[in-house]
Structure 1
Amino acid sequence: MITQEILNNLPTTFGIYQYLDHQGRVLYVGKAKNIKKRVKSYFKIQDTKVLPQSNLSQRIQIMLNQTTQIHTIVVSSEQDALLLENSLIKQLKPKYNILLRDDKTYPYICIDMSEDFPRFEMTRKVQHKKEMLYFGPYPSGCRDILDSLYALFALVQKKSCIKGKKACLFYQINRCKAPCEGKITKEAYKEILQEALKVLKNKNKLLEALEQKMLDLAQKLLFEEANIYKQRIQKITPLTNFSQISYPQPYDFDILSIVKNHSHHAILIKLFMREGKIIASDFENIKSDYEIDDNDIYTQFILNHYKEKLPIIPQNILIGTDIENIKELEDFIYQYQGKKVVIQKPLKGFKASLIAIANQNANEILRQQNQQENTLLKGIKDVFKLSQTPFRIEVFDTSHHNFSFKVGGMIVFENNRFVKNAYRHYHLEGNDEYSQMQEMLTRRIESFEKNPPPNLWLLDGGKAQINLAKKLLQSAGVDIDIIGIAKEKLDHKAHRAKGRAKDTIYLLDSVLHLDTNHTSLQFLQKLRDEAHRFAITFHKNQKTKNFIKNTTYSPSELKKLLDYYGNFTTINNASKEEIRQILKK
């Protein structure tokens, strides 16, 4: 338990504090200008006992009742405390902190107007070139916009075109005017470029041009090419959702707002206004077992989003709720962006109407969210007695053949779907499944600072694997739930019959045998099977690459063999005489 002595010995300077439970697990990470003053504000002394203050939220009271230790780290400024707190939350994922996972850098479209024949490019970083124009950010659709501009306008299509000094295929199909051979003047090229810029700045005009191109191709019965434009239209259309909202002043605003519902589910919505028009939007799902603190969410987003130099720096960041550390965040942005950016919660006028628009859209996203997933995941938490609802799950499996081509795979499940862009492959060195799992989990732990841990690890394996995972996580100071799922064996082979396999579930302190029609078992089997598919597909690809690399067959011979045998494994197992006969046919 926390004692008066512990509180009295806390430092009185800038820093971060960590609340830990009796097992040494980090429950919460916080920051403070004065650590002692901040921590003591959570407690009261009653009959020589240290108890949580009665006016605290339910989340904080539960956390403080579990706290038995307080660790501190002293730093030289509150900004350093902000950064350290953010880093530790991402790396350790404490149970009572809200983690904002998504800190991706959005792409921009840029063009260097100082060049003789400028061309559009996609970038995520500031390009140190004179007369560079930037457009964005684009949370989605950036590549489709870029490809559309090059399909609609006869611009220099590739970086290497000008250097080639000779007209290429793009000139022959009328996609380029061949400035490499001097077939167009700089002035005439700039006229085409200005038309492209007008379309880039007006997404409705871009969509009109794409729809016309799609119809022209369809009328010529070129349906595959027409479908390419249809897909581009589908990806670009969401960018026009706010096209009717504009202001006569060329304001550059980033607009942030958080909307929550009663089930501890929140949406952080982000609108990007450039030159008085909202050009793009994005949102993040935030889910918790406890109440969600707006201050934590705004702080994490600002620290994540503005830590890299931005091509376009907003004049203001508009937020929907007052936060306590605005000055420190403004100082942080100034340090990293080299420009003063005002963070404010507008109360009236045009800026307040932008927040209202953000709230309206966030509420609509919340309304559309599927609540079935929450019911399922809450059930998983109860059935397996997890410490938290597994809103994000990582699943691990390994694959090898006679301990050759040893690989592993990690798949991710979140928001009722498999998150394919978060999947990871691993090349492994271990010669048994235990050491391979150890290697894979160790490498995943090493990446926690850049890619924070999930709520739950699901491992293909039994008691040995989950004990291994627990040991590795404890050594890293991270506390997340772990479940093992071991396949039922029939005649020493894994039984994967869907809906009938009697797999065994391993927890740290128990073993479960659920009925084959149990929803929770079937859900874990679904996750495990996807991880197995992902790992074994990678394993087969590695074998195929090795076969092609070491084969003496010509491409035509390989095709003939594949047509006959169907896969490389069967070819590899065939006798030389059999292959010789097939190649003679």
Structure 2
Amino acid sequence: MADPASYRPKPGEIPTDPGVYRFRDEHGRIIYVGKAKNLRSRLNSYFANPATLLPKTHAMVHHAASVQWTIVGSELEALQLEYTWIKEFAPRYNLAFRDDKTYPYLAVSMGEKYPRVQVMRGERRKGTRYFGPYTAGAIRETMDTLLRVFPVRSCSPGVLRRAERSGRPCLLGYIDKCAAPCVGRISPEDHKALAQDFCDFMGGEAKRFIGTLEKKMAAAAAEMDYEQAARLRDDVIALKKVFERNAVVLTEDTNADVFAVEQDELEAAVQVFYVRGGRIRGQRGWVVEKVEDATDAELWEHFMQQVYGGEDAEQDSIPRQILVPELPANHEYLAQWLGELRNGPVSIKVPMRGEKAALMDTVKANARQAMVLHKSRRAGDLTTRSLALQELQEALELPMPLLRIECFDISHVQGTNVVASMVVVEDGLAKKGEYRKFAITGDAAIDDTASMHDVITRRFRNYLAEKEERAKAASATGEVGAGDSSAEAPKAKFAYPPNLVVVDGGVPQVNAAARALAELGISDVAVVGLAKRLEEVWVPGSDFPVILPRSSEGLYMLQRIRDEAHRFAISFHRAKRGKAMTASVLDSVPGLGAAKQKALLAHFGSLKKVRAATVEEIAQAKGFGPVLAQAVHDALHTGDGTEAAPAVNMATGEIID
């Protein structure tokens, strides 16, 4: 742990202008980003009496090894730059939002030829409209009901391709819950218009569709077409059921996000109700880890930055009104920034009375319950993780806490398609964004020992190279604390080194890893191996393993990390093996790479159709010209006019068409 006094800027060095500051650790990694109206006043608060700092702030300033700042022209520029750097570097000590559950969205892939309605979770995709979030049960029922009226495609790409090849729709096409564009029952244009109607209904135009159907129902009844009138009546009932599922809480022209928070000294539980067209369309909750002694106003400012400026945010996800218990710091600049993202005005308000204030109380009650539930769930997990890390540190006699652990595993089948995996655990939790996979070839693939030496060498050689690049960038921009806006050092691909390296294996693998680190001159990283047979923990240079009790939380953690590395390696090995087992005559065509092969097959639908095509027809595919088309045609046909050998699966001998 560093002493903050060792890197505290000298008196008078810090300007009094607005700007953005970054704390870095000893490896140059940015661990905290903040902004300030007055840089000198804000930064001096971090170097005050440690007893006055919050626990997480105390940990951050002692973890850091340097501080830098960049002066900007206004508070709005500071807000934008802070957001950009938090998004790019994901600093460890900035506000971290953990959703209290994974909420599904109703998504319509409008960017596809045949738009698809589906329930989706996770990151948002370009060209897809999202509605929600919803609870799992409600969204399935809503989707099933709406497909009766708007029979948009909901099948997977594989089912769609099979239907196109066979000329027969899937079950949904037979029961009229899909318009079956795969077999030509509806044109691509009309199907896309149907999907747009689905989006318009979900976007708040329900009354228009219900009114249209009611008029058609009345007209059918007047013409004594009672069967059609009955079908339209059922459609109206279905749409009303979806429309009336959410209670009307505000006026119908109200589109707002209503936030509330319940917090203590270390954490805050945030709840939001999404109100669209005056109705509650969804609900979501987050847990915020508070890092510094921030006021409620500063907390809301950071929250708005991450929620509305995140990777998965879209313009239509920002409403006209944002209702909060307290105005964020610099709310005028924040509203201006959100308005630029939305391409329309955004107002941030505190409801004081009436229906909006009553709804705020309801959201507050949900936040209170979420905090109670989170603490009851997390208490056991946090205690267990801390105990496991402490047990490992004591058993291995390590001087430093195990903040970061990396585990490596080798996977192959009889020495073929050798690969390795690296999984990362920080504070006892998996950090999947920093997982890595390695392909191993040549002499390094001779055996597991050589492979382990190779992958450890590559991982830490990259780290040393990036460390040198950061050092050069730092020297180019001046001494620590320089107040300029020069370019940052390249973002590290391998983050910073772990406190502990775990390898899957016994003495040979452990010694190979230790030898690789020694050859690179790295002495501050501990290495252990976990042997599968007896779950023994081996350390370099020891004749006897470290035996952890079977009930040890530390052993359980090592096993979970090892199993995760094994899973990750196996998945990569299978993908590589499957790719290697497929050989195609197209692979031999000069200038025809994987992308153009994919485009060619997408254009014709199958290799059989490509083989039957003329040179002129092949040249019409995207990215193809007469020369490449002639080369493809020649490769698929021998000189005497007979067909060349088809693509073959090398493992089964099966012809791939």
TM-score of the superposed pair, with normalisation by structure 1: 0.61
Tell me by how many angstroms 1:89 deviates.
Answer: 4.1
The whole-number CA distance in structure 1 between the counterparts of 2:574 and 2:362 is: 50
State which of 303, 306, 317 in structure 2 corresponds to 1:304: 306
For residues 66-95 of structure 1, give each alpha carbon's deviation from its aligned partner in whole angstroms, at most 9, with x where no partner exists: 766432223344333334334444555555
The whole-number CA distance in structure 2 between the counterparts of 1:368 and 1:240 is: 31
1:8 matched to 2:30? The reply is: no
Tell me by how many angstroms 1:272 deviates.
Answer: 1.3
Tell me by how many angstroms 1:425 deviates.
Answer: 6.7
Q: Which letter does structure 1 place at the counterpart of 2:437?
A: Y
| Structure 1: stretches of 5+ with no match in the other structure | 44-50, 129-133, 203-238, 475-480, 489-495, 552-570, 577-585
1:268 matched to 2:270? The reply is: yes
The whole-number CA distance in structure 2 between the counterparts of 1:381 and 1:450 is: 26
State the aligned residue count. Answer: 470
1:521 matched to 2:533? The reply is: no
Contact kept in structure 1, 2:96 and 2:289, CA below 8 Å: no
Q: Superposition pairs for residues 123-162 of structure 1, below 5 Å?
A: 136-138=131-133, 144=140, 148=144, 151-153=147-149, 155-157=151-153
Contact kept in structure 2, 1:167 and 1:181, CA below 8 Å: no
The whole-number CA distance in structure 1 between the counterparts of 2:343 and 2:140 is: 31
The whole-number CA distance in structure 2 between the counterparts of 1:240 and 1:435 is: 60
Q: Which letter does structure 1 place at the counterpart of 2:411?
A: S
Q: Superposition pairs for residues 92-103 of structure 1, below 5 Å?
A: 92=89, 94=91, 96-100=93-97
Distance 1:313 1:291, change over 3 A: closer
Distance 1:314 1:501, change over 3 A: same
For residues 204-230 of structure 1, give each alpha carbon's deviation from its aligned partner in whole angstroms, at most 9, with x where no partner exists: xxxxxxxxxxxxxxxxxxxxxxxxxxx
Q: Which letter does structure 1 place at the counterpart of 2:564?
A: E
TM-score of the superposed pair, with normalisation by structure 2: 0.55
For residues 340-377 of structure 1, give each alpha carbon's deviation from its aligned partner in whole angstroms, at most 9, with x where no partner exists: 21223434433333333233223333333422111111
Match of 1:35 in 2: 39
Q: Which letter does structure 2 place at the counterpart of 1:426?
A: K
> Alpha carbon RMSD of aligned pairs, Å?
5.7
1:399 matched to 2:411? The reply is: yes
The whole-number CA distance in structure 1 between the counterparts of 2:353 and 2:144 is: 39
Contact kept in structure 2, 1:18 and 1:30, CA below 8 Å: yes
Distance 1:435 1:299, change over 3 A: farther
Contact kept in structure 2, 1:90 and 1:99, CA below 8 Å: no
State which of 328, 333, 336 in structure 2 corresponds to 1:323: 328
Distance 1:292 1:535, change over 3 A: farther
The whole-number CA distance in structure 2 between the counterparts of 1:415 and 1:281 is: 30
The whole-number CA distance in structure 1 between the counterparts of 2:579 and 2:27 is: 47
1:536 matched to 2:570? The reply is: yes
1:72 matched to 2:69? The reply is: yes
The whole-number CA distance in structure 2 between the counterparts of 1:41 and 1:195 is: 50
Q: Which letter does structure 2 place at the counterpart of 1:366?
A: M
For residues 289-345 of structure 1, give each alpha carbon's deviation from its aligned partner in whole angstroms, at most 9, with x where no partner exists: 887875665444422343354225312222344432322321211222222212234
Distance 1:515 1:251, change over 3 A: same
For residues 216-266 of structure 1, give each alpha carbon's deviation from its aligned partner in whole angstroms, at most 9, with x where no partner exists: xxxxxxxxxxxxxxxxxxxxxxx999934622343211233333356x344
Contact kept in structure 2, 1:485 and 1:505, CA below 8 Å: yes
1:257 matched to 2:260? The reply is: yes
For residues 141-176 of structure 1, give each alpha carbon's deviation from its aligned partner in whole angstroms, at most 9, with x where no partner exists: 598578635753463538999xx9x99636554445
For residues 383-416 of structure 1, give each alpha carbon's deviation from its aligned partner in whole angstroms, at most 9, with x where no partner exists: 32797896x9875534245664233445577999
Distance 1:286 1:182, change over 3 A: closer
1:355 matched to 2:360? The reply is: yes
User: Secondary structure of the equivalent of 1:357?
Assistant: helix
Q: Superposition pairs for residues 205-354 of structure 1, below 5 Å?
A: 243-244=246-247, 246-261=249-264, 264-287=266-289, 298-307=300-309, 308-354=313-359
User: Secondary structure of the equivalent of 1:282?
Assistant: strand
Greater shift, 11-20 or 146-155, is seen at: 146-155
The whole-number CA distance in structure 2 between the counterparts of 1:3 and 1:538 is: 43
Contact kept in structure 2, 1:93 and 1:99, CA below 8 Å: no
Distance 1:42 1:345, change over 3 A: farther
Distance 1:539 1:58, change over 3 A: closer
Greater shift, 170-179 or 119-128, is seen at: 119-128
Task: Compare CA radii of gyration and give the structure with the larger one.
Answer: 2
Q: Which letter does structure 2 place at the counterpart of 1:460?
A: V
The whole-number CA distance in structure 1 between the counterparts of 2:399 and 2:326 is: 33
Tell me by how many angstroms 1:525 deviates.
Answer: 1.4
Greater shift, 242-251 or 273-282, is seen at: 242-251
The whole-number CA distance in structure 2 between the counterparts of 1:250 and 1:528 is: 54
User: Secondary structure of the equivalent of 1:311?
Assistant: helix
Tell me by how many angstroms 1:177 deviates.
Answer: 6.2
Distance 1:17 1:87, change over 3 A: same
The whole-number CA distance in structure 1 between the counterparts of 2:76 and 2:563 is: 45
Greater shift, 315-324 or 407-416, is seen at: 407-416
Match of 2:502 in 1: 460
Contact kept in structure 1, 2:103 and 2:133, CA below 8 Å: no
Contact kept in structure 2, 1:256 and 1:268, CA below 8 Å: yes
Identity of matched residues, %: 20
